[in-house]
């Protein structure tokens, strides 16, 4: 006789309830992954925008520094040109020797000289008049 064993459950039996739970679990995991990807994407976009802004600010600062450097260089060049026009140490030494030789502290102005000459002339005229008067009084 044949043993009658209960038939083994078929492994290919389709259980829709298990499949539904499995699909829902996958859907939940995919949704979580999508939220994480969106958060990462938004964070990346935000950081990229911040970096663009920082780079633009840095470029403006570098441009400003370059302009300041150019202005500084042109001012230094102008100072160098002006300094080249000034007298050198040898020329200053020659001028110093002439100044010491001439001694400008002893110079007089034209007005001072004219006053001194007028004073001397009037003094001499007075002396001559006095001498003349003395001679005349002696003759009398």
Each residue of 87-113: pLDDT tens digit? 888 999 998 888 888 877 777 788 888
Q: Are residues 124 and 74 in the same domain?
A: no
The answer to whether residues 100 and 123 belong to one domain is: no
Same structural domain, 35 and 102:
yes
Examine the domain organization and report whether 48 and 62 are in the same domain. yes
Residues 74 and 132 in one domain: no
Domain residues for 69?
30-107
Are residues 134 and 74 part of one domain? no
What does the pLDDT look like over 8-59, one tens digit per residue?
A: 555 556 789 999 999 999 999 999 999 999 999 999 999 999 999 999 999 9
CA torsion angle 80 84 85 89 (round to 10): 130
- Do 47 and 93 reside in the same domain of the chain? yes
Considering the domain architecture, whether residues 61 and 39 belong to the same structural domain is answered as: yes
How many DSSP H helices and E strands does the chain contain?
3, 0
Residue 25 lies in a domain: no
Q: Same domain, yes or no, for 44 and 93?
A: yes
Q: Are residues 99 and 133 in the same domain?
A: no
Q: Give the total number of structural domains in the chain.
A: 2
Same domain, 97 and 113: no
Q: Are residues 77 and 113 in the same domain?
A: no
In this prediction, residue 13 carries a pLDDT of 61
Res 112: pLDDT: 85
């Amino acid at each position: 006789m044949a043993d009658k064993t209960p038939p083994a459950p078929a492994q290919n039996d389709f259980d829709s309830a298990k499949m539904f739970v499995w699909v829902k679990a996958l859907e939940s995991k995919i949704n979580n992954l999508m939220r994480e990807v969106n958060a990462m994407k938004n964070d990346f976009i935000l950081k990229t925008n911040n970096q663009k802004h920082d780079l633009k600010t840095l470029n403006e600062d570098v441009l400003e520094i370059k302009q300041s450097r150019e202005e500084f260089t042109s001012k230094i060049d102008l100072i160098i040109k002006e300094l080249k026009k000034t007298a050198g140490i040898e020329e200053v030494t020659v001028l110093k020797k002439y100044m010491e030789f001439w001694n400008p502290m002893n110079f007089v102005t034209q007005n001072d000289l004219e006053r001194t000459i007028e004073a001397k002339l009037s003094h001499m005229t007075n002396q001559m008049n006095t001498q003349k008067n003395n001679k005349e009084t002696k003759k009398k």
